[in-house]
Amino acid sequence: MKPKQKKFIFVTGGVLSSIGKGICAASLGMLLEERGIKVAMVKMDPYLNVDPGTMSPFQHGEVFVLDDGTETDLDLGHYSRFVHTAVFSKRNSFTAGKVYDAVIRRERQGGYLGKTVQVIPHITDEIKARVHEAVADVDLGIIEVGGTVGDIESLPFLEAIRQIRQEEGAANVLFAHLTLVPFIAAAGELKTKPTQHSVKELREIGIQPDLLVCRTDRPLAREIKDKIGLFCNVAADCVFSAEDAASIYDVPLNLAAEGLDDKVVEKLGIWTGRPDLSKWRAMVNTIHNPKSEVRIGIVGKYTDWRDTYKSISESLVHGGVANQTRVVPVYIDSEKVEAGDLSEIEKVSGLLVPGGFGERGIEGKIRAIEYARTENVPFFGICLGMQLAVIEFARHVAGLDHANSAEFKPGNDQNVIDLMEAQKGIEDLGGTMRLGAYTCLITAKVMGKATHAYEAYKKEKISERHRHRFEVSNRFRPMLEEKGLVVGGVYRDAKTTTELVEMVELPTHPWFLGCQFHPELQSKPLDPHPLFTQFIKAALLAAKGTQQKLKGIS
Ligand code: GLN
């Protein structure tokens, strides 16, 4: 039943960063959504960047783009993989930078009528207004506070959520705190002290957590839960363990087994049925008991920073689920390939070249693409990966031997990847990114044969998200098509009818497809993206072929 009053769950994190607050919030969202509650997922980040668009992927992981073009961080990716009905827009993610920017602009415009503008109440009011705006159309908001309790910059956010509880009433607002309970080998026991300290910090600023979710590497015995409850002033049945899980998709099932969602609805006075987790359970079962295994090479630049490719690696898992297979990602450093080392490339059954910016490592990626094209290895190029596939084709098939991208060789006369005419001469490149969702029209057939693109989507009109500046040059398109490059999808401007290439493929190859957009941003474990499903299917076929060939030799 629909709750009358709007409900809020604020998720904070203690002790350390990276203990899985985003997954915990996402899991809760999934469990409550499955109970028929309309939820909104919101992330508030205490850093001062206005958005993560300009932050280095080394430091902050991937930039997750929403349909409306908002650049957010990878937690929004977790949320959108776990929940299905929630809509994500610029309302669902904001940073301290955005909040301060709005307040300072208002002050400059005289919006505060000469008052002294202060963190409390002006910054906190702005935070509260944004929370209310984000949950306007739903029954329940799950709002994650980024950072770790105890950080100076999260204080205004914590003060704002304290006030929301005061205003909305304790019956409608829950504070869930994720904390770490480490096992100390030397003592041979689980330690609760960091949790006690983290809760103490919260209580000092007026927040008493209602629920404690304890990340641990082993189950928490009843006595430990009792002890934590006693010292943290939380009922022992509100202390939950979140044990390390083999797959992030186990987490909602584990939390449900602990009774977390039961407790949440009980405390918030929401009457619902139990969640139907059968589909989720079946998916997790496939992850743990696959029928086969396939190795996929991801040729990238930041090979040691896996979070840079978080959505891609998750989408590969989803594509694996759709094919009842386990995908083993093999991260291949493009600079090694550039130096001539193809040893790792030779050991995978499919190659994926993801998006990226900047020149470093691109020749290695082009070399990998050439290998995939000439050796019939299934290839999936995403954004920069597609652009490089076009460059490779132009150089080695179409005879444009110094083909390149204007991103790397401005002024070069064979830039098959270029800025659109309208963008040329604009100094501020930040303003010229193509961001967010665009419609793509798919070419169903070429010479009587369905395109790989159509085989995947089974429809002629799709919507995918973008984050790039450069495009396939329309000047070279006819020549590339003449040489056999198939344009599998285009964006067509309604007014000018100008087209932009969205997808390319090679009809003579088992599976060679590049897309200018980012399909990984829309894949979910219960709804794998069709391009990933088809790519893994092709890789499995290729793996079988190689095995048969090897058998034939021996
Ligand atoms: N650097 C390329 C561009 O700006 C590709 C971007 C990407 O892969 N997201 O067009």
pLDDT digits (tens, 9 = 90+) for 466-522: 999 999 999 999 999 999 999 999 999 888 888 999 999 999 999 999 999 999 999
pLDDT category at 16 given cuts 50, 70, 90 is confident
**Arithmetic mean of pLDDT over the chain:** 91
Per the structure, the count of domains in the chain is: 2
Cα–Cα distance, 434 to 549 (Å, whole number): 44
Residue 217 lies in a domain: yes
- Whether residue 467 has its Cβ less than 6 Å from ligand 1: yes
Cα–Cα distance, 362 to 302 (Å, whole number): 12
| Stated pTM of the model | 0.93
Same domain, residue pair 224 and 345? no
Residue 510: which CATH number? 3.40.50.880
Residue 141 in this model has a pLDDT that exceeds 90: yes
Predicted local confidence at residue 19, as pLDDT: 82
Atom of ligand 1 lying closest to residue 355 CA: 8
**383, 465, 515, best to mutate for ligand 1 pocket (most atoms within 8 Å of CB):** 383
| Cα first-last separation, the chain | 65
**CB neighbour list of residue 322: distance below 8 Å, 6 or more residues apart:** 528, 532, 533, 536, 537
Cα–Cα distance, 190 to 184 (Å, whole number): 6
Residue 155 lies in a domain: yes
Instruction: Please indicate whether residue 383 is annotated as part of the active site.
Output: yes
Give the orientation angle of helix 21-33 with respect to helix 260-268, to 10 degrees: 70
- Whether residue 354 has its Cβ less than 6 Å from ligand 1: no
Choosing from 250, 281, 312, the residue where a domain stops is: 281
Give the orientation angle of helix 74-82 with respect to helix 21-33, to 10 degrees: 30
Q: Which residues are bridge partners to 173 per DSSP?
A: 8
Predicted local confidence at residue 421, as pLDDT: 63
Residue 94: which CATH number? 3.40.50.300
Give all strands (DSSP E) within 400-452, no chain letters.
404-405, 415-418, 434-442, 445-446, 449-450
Cα–Cα distance, 465 to 162 (Å, whole number): 36
* φ, ψ dihedrals at 198, nearest 5°: -65, -40
Same domain, residue pair 271 and 313? no
Choosing from 238, 255, 281, the residue where a domain stops is: 281
Residue 2 in this model has a pLDDT that exceeds 60: no
pLDDT greater at residue 58 or residue 433: 433
**CB neighbour list of residue 495: distance below 8 Å, 6 or more residues apart:** none
- Whether residue 468 has its Cβ less than 6 Å from ligand 1: yes
Residue 2 lies in a domain: no
Same domain, residue pair 421 and 529? yes
pLDDT category at 357 given cuts 50, 70, 90 is confident
Residue 359 in this model has a pLDDT that exceeds 90: no
Distance 386 CA to ligand 1 centre (A): 9
Residue 1 lies in a domain: no
DSSP string of 137-164, one letter each residue: TSSEEEEEEPS-TT-GGGHHHHHHHHHH
Atom of ligand 1 lying closest to residue 467 CA: 9
pLDDT category at 553 given cuts 50, 70, 90 is low
Are 330 and 344 contacting, i.e. CB atoms less than 8 angstroms apart?
A: yes
**Closest CA to ligand 1's atom 7:** 355
Exposure string (b/e) for 194-219, b if CB count within 10 Å is 16 or more? ebbbbbebbeeeebebbbbbbbbeee
Same domain, residue pair 349 and 457? yes
pLDDT greater at residue 518 or residue 59: 518
Same domain, residue pair 371 and 228? no
- Report the amino acid identity of residue 547: Q
Same domain, residue pair 374 and 228? no
- Whether residue 356 has its Cβ less than 6 Å from ligand 1: yes
Predicted local confidence at residue 3, as pLDDT: 47
Q: Which of 50-59, 112-121, 362-371, 545-554 has the lowest mean pLDDT?
A: 545-554
Same domain, residue pair 202 and 224? yes
Cα–Cα distance, 307 to 31 (Å, whole number): 25
Residue 554 lies in a domain: no
pLDDT category at 429 given cuts 50, 70, 90 is very low
Same domain, residue pair 333 and 389? yes
State the catalytic residue, choosing from 238, 383, 440, 515: 383
Are 436 and 446 contacting, i.e. CB atoms less than 8 angstroms apart?
A: no
Nearest to 511 by CA among 328, 363, 389: 389
Its sign, for the CA torsion 459, 460, 463, 468, is positive
Atom of ligand 1 lying closest to residue 518 CA: 9
- Whether residue 383 has its Cβ less than 6 Å from ligand 1: yes
Distance 60 CA to ligand 1 centre (A): 18
Q: Say if residue 3 is preceded by a cis peptide, omega within 30 of 0.
A: no
Are 77 and 144 contacting, i.e. CB atoms less than 8 angstroms apart?
A: no
Choosing from 247, 263, 281, the residue where a domain stops is: 281
Same domain, residue pair 256 and 326? no
For residue 270, count CB atoms less than 10 angstroms from its CB and return exposed for 0-12, middle for 13-18, buried for 19 or more. Answer: buried
**CB neighbour list of residue 43: distance below 8 Å, 6 or more residues apart:** 22, 72, 73, 75, 76, 79, 92, 93, 94, 143, 144, 146
**CB neighbour list of residue 59: distance below 8 Å, 6 or more residues apart:** none
Cα–Cα distance, 116 to 106 (Å, whole number): 12
Cα–Cα distance, 177 to 10 (Å, whole number): 8
Work out the percent of the chain whose per-residue pLDDT is above 90.
Answer: 80
- Whether residue 384 has its Cβ less than 6 Å from ligand 1: yes
**298, 434, 470, 518, best to mutate for ligand 1 pocket (most atoms within 8 Å of CB):** 470
Atom of ligand 1 lying closest to residue 466 CA: 9
Q: pLDDT digit string (tens) for 182-209?
A: 999 998 899 999 999 999 999 999 999 9
Exposure string (b/e) for 466-487, b if CB count within 10 Å is 16 or more? bbbbbbbbeebbeebeeeebbb
Cα–Cα distance, 310 to 76 (Å, whole number): 11
Cα–Cα distance, 69 to 23 (Å, whole number): 23
Nearest to 66 by CA among 508, 464, 343: 464
**309, 388, 407, 429, best to mutate for ligand 1 pocket (most atoms within 8 Å of CB):** 407
Range of the domain at 491: 290-549
Residue 327 lies in a domain: yes
Six token digits for residue 45: 């980040």
Residue 58 in this model has a pLDDT that exceeds 70: no
- Whether residue 469 has its Cβ less than 6 Å from ligand 1: yes
